[in-house]
Structure 1
Amino acid sequence: MHVLEVLPPRLYPCLNSQKRAILRTLQISIHPYPSYEARKERGDDRTGLETNEVALQQLYDLISGTVNRGEGNSCLILGPRGSGKTRLVERCLLNIPNKPIILRLSGWTQHSDRLAMREIAHQLNQQTGTTIFVHPDDVPRNIDNDYPDRELNPFLDKSVSSMLVSSASLPLSSHLPTLISALPTLPRPTIVILDGFDLFSLHPRQSLLYCLLDTAQSCHSGAKSRGLAVVGITTRVDTVNLLEKRVKSRFSGRILRTAPPQDLEGWIEVAKATLMPRVLDENQEKSYNEEWKSLWNMAIEKFLSDRSVTKALNETFSITRDIRMLNKIMASLALHLAPTSPFPSVSQIKATVLSQRIRPRSPFLHTLSYPALCLLIASVHVDSTGHSTFTFEMLHECFYDQLRTSLSAPVQVNGGSIGMAFEYLVSVKLFTCIAPSTGVAKEFVKYHSVVAREDVKKAVDKTGQINLRKWFTKAQ
């Protein structure tokens, strides 16, 4: 069976279903890594992939104890950026059979305990509808009607404009213990996810962390409480040391570690799991027939085995191991699928990988005039002598020292002098003035070059000028 270049109309729904499945996989990350069991069967024991699977099982056991037995638990998920910490939590919550109450807080957003309290109250009202935490939409629009819980509810603004709905205000810090202690009494178990856990330790007295961990510690299996689990997410390895003694004593000490793939094969496995999702919803399964499945699987196997694709992924992997970068590449491939190009191609992934790279700051260096290139090389020589700043006279002297040793270096080319070249480099901001002064002559004003040594070397190599290349290599 060969891979189709143009998709027949009968398979259009299958292509759309495949695109939705890939994007859904990238969004909720159902299969960020191949399953440990599948890799174990083929003798693959790469550590980076196994680390996340072990952490997933440990987190699942912890949350299951809270959901099924009403336990109080706490843990910290630690790993570098892009190693799958948030993805790990989302995968675990998807597999929990009895859906608990999930409270999501972020240290980047909730800068104080009062902001965190208001967010907790808002999310509790959205998920439980309890009258303890009244939502602004529940306030009567007629202000003449007396609302019995208005005075007792600290999460409502008591100043209500005529015919307008009240907005939630910041509650007092004294209400924090009451709010947190009410979590185990809710109808369902509660999971509190603290993203940026280390930032919460910067709050005064760490009151929020103390109340959460103290309440979780007081929950016991078999009691009347529904259970509370506190899951922290952080990248700082010294987060536990940031906790106060009274807070640290209430933390369970469980630290689950995550790690990105350690080699290129791991990245390719992630890409394959993304492009070939194994979980589809009911609507997708209706249009996901066997013919399309065979065509798609064969095309992906051929695509990932191509040397150009492996090279493109390897170049990105050598720069960053962040899975989020790979997800961006996979998302771009999925969005460019069309009936005229129904399968990923080498040209698409090359263009996608290139679009994620940082553009060179000065891609036109090799087109500069000969005197301008000489000034750039002179700035490299001056910098190599320990002078990060320079004046025109310093570069001029360096240029003429080279001129005296090499008569092949002209002072003027096509009507352009060394002075005009210097003024041009200043105008295009390759040389920036750092100490302007009205009492200093132009030739003695200090400048700084924004062009890196490597960029100058590439520009000199592109020109093919042997004498410039020899002069550049003299800079130590």
Structure 2
Amino acid sequence: MGVNDTNEKIHMNIEAIRKILKQKILRPISVLRGYSKERLHVFDLMTRTVNVGESNSALLIGPRGCGKTTLVNDVLNELERDSAFNHKALVVHLNGLIHTDDRLSLKDMTRQMKLENVVQDKVFGSFSENLTFLLESLRSGEKGTSKATLIILDEFDLFCNHRNQTLLYNLFDVSQSAQAPICVLGITSRLDVTELLEKRVRSRFSHRQILLLPEGGDANSFTSIASDLLSLPKNSLKCPGDKKIIQTWNDSIKSLLSNVEVASILRQLMDISKNERILRNFLMCMTSHLGDKHHMLEEGDFIRTAKLFIGVDSKIQMLEGLSILELCLVISMKHLNEIYDKEPFNFEMVFAQYKKFISKQSTVQGVEKHIALCAFETLQRLEFIQPAAKGSMKIKFSSGFDKAYQKEFQLFYFLATSDQVMDAVRNYKDLPTEVSQWASSCLI
């Protein structure tokens, strides 16, 4: 089967390919990436409750979308692989968005613990008596033994709004008093959640907190995730020559993701947020354009979709509007930032870097120092540079008189990134070739 024949086969099966990709992208995130230490902590808490009968309480705290629920589900999936787990423990999931009061919470707990037949029409005086009865009902025939209960409270901060925080008080009280093996794990995005707890509730909480901070990851982590989501699994197509079609598609995706512009877009997307959901939404928008007239993903698809998610950088637009002299000074600052690791600089250092470039490029005409200083002050007004010290810089003499530094020697920080400067250089119209080469060259 030739290349043209394979492309024609892809064109004929594009609807099936698009359906497979959408199913992969829209599938709930089930793969936990990173957080090995935090996962081990949660795993230890739950296993000690199930196997040893130790009661625990803890809070899992992190920003939305960082993987808190995925982490808990990953731990539970591993525990459930043990055939004896269902005989040793019960898992109860409550969500603050759904269970808005204690009555709803208790009703759903009863359902999930499969104790409706035990409770039947029994009515007790308080929530505490109801909960105690439920836990007692889990006791097996052997004296002193009981099924472990793992209670997951998603949107934990919303349970703090329940009247008198009765649910939390009783759950923490049971876990502290070891009446029955129970693990209470709250999931929330609020760092100040313990401040929402009443004093009596807080006193019964273990104050064990597990923080999930956004992991830095390597610069190519979004690229590897995108490769996984956009690649076709083996035997996913049921048509003649499906192996060749899948291989051709996957090779094109691999080649596309190795493109410099595509890799840059994915890095920018990762700079905005390391949340995998944003990447999935981004890829979903791209795959939606696949059809009879457009059957292969291209670099242009990434660029067009990036405008919706990343938008236009206003600082790059401002850099593109500078004069060539001002842009040359900006390039000098970029090089100084790289040489001195973002340490502050003054005009004399910038001008010396600029003169060094001019002396090596006879085709680019230099300017006098006072003209360059005016351009430097324009960059300050546009807030591309910021003074390293607040107020005017002065020298204190023994005579008691103050004398201000010459403005050429005042220290500044550069407020644009190297990527922004390079993007502006690439988009700048009629920029001399020597200047663009200087911007992308090694340090002078």
TM-score, reference length from structure 2: 0.54
State the partner residue of 1:347. 300
State the partner residue of 2:220. 265
State the partner residue of 2:169. 210
d(CA) in 1 for partners of 2:264, 2:198: 49
Unaligned runs of 5+ in 2: 141-145, 313-444
1:313 to 262, 266, 281: 266
User: Which amino acid in structure 2 is aligned with residue 31 of structure 1?
Assistant: V
State the partner residue of 2:131. 177
Deviations 1:281-318 (A, max 9, x none): xx969999865664454333223222232233233333
Distance 1:79-1:18 versus aligned 2 partners, 3 A rule: same
State the partner residue of 1:131. 117
Distance 1:172-1:254 versus aligned 2 partners, 3 A rule: closer
User: Which amino acid in structure 2 is aligned with residue 85 of structure 1?
Assistant: K
State the partner residue of 2:29. 29
Distance 1:94-1:318 versus aligned 2 partners, 3 A rule: same
Moved more, 57-66 or 230-239: 57-66
| Contact residue 17 and residue 284 of structure 1 kept, 8 A | no
State the partner residue of 2:152. 193
Q: How does 1:17-416 map to 2 (within 5 A)?
A: 18-19=20-21, 22-23=24-25, 26-33=26-33, 49=34, 52-96=35-79, 97=81, 98-99=85-86, 100-124=89-113, 128=114, 130-133=116-119, 149-150=120-121, 152=122, 173=127, 175-178=129-132, 181-182=135-136, 185=139, 189-219=148-178, 227-262=181-216, 264-275=219-230, 294-333=247-286, 344-356=297-309
d(CA) in 2 for partners of 1:310, 1:88: 28
**Cα drift, residue 82 of structure 1:** 1.9
| Contact residue 60 and residue 212 of structure 2 kept, 8 A | yes
Distance 1:106-1:335 versus aligned 2 partners, 3 A rule: same
Partner SS for 2:267: helix
**Cα drift, residue 233 of structure 1:** 0.9
Please tell me the root mean square deviation across aligned C-alpha atoms, in Å.
4.1
| Contact residue 232 and residue 249 of structure 2 kept, 8 A | no
d(CA) in 1 for partners of 2:51, 2:242: 38
**Cα drift, residue 260 of structure 1:** 2.6
Partner SS for 1:262: coil
d(CA) in 2 for partners of 1:293, 1:188: 49
Distance 1:350-1:10 versus aligned 2 partners, 3 A rule: closer
User: Which amino acid in structure 2 is aligned with residue 131 of structure 1?
Assistant: N
| Contact residue 286 and residue 302 of structure 2 kept, 8 A | yes
d(CA) in 1 for partners of 2:136, 2:298: 55
Q: Which structure is higher in RCO with an 8 Å CA cutoff and minimum separation 6?
A: 1
d(CA) in 1 for partners of 2:108, 2:238: 40
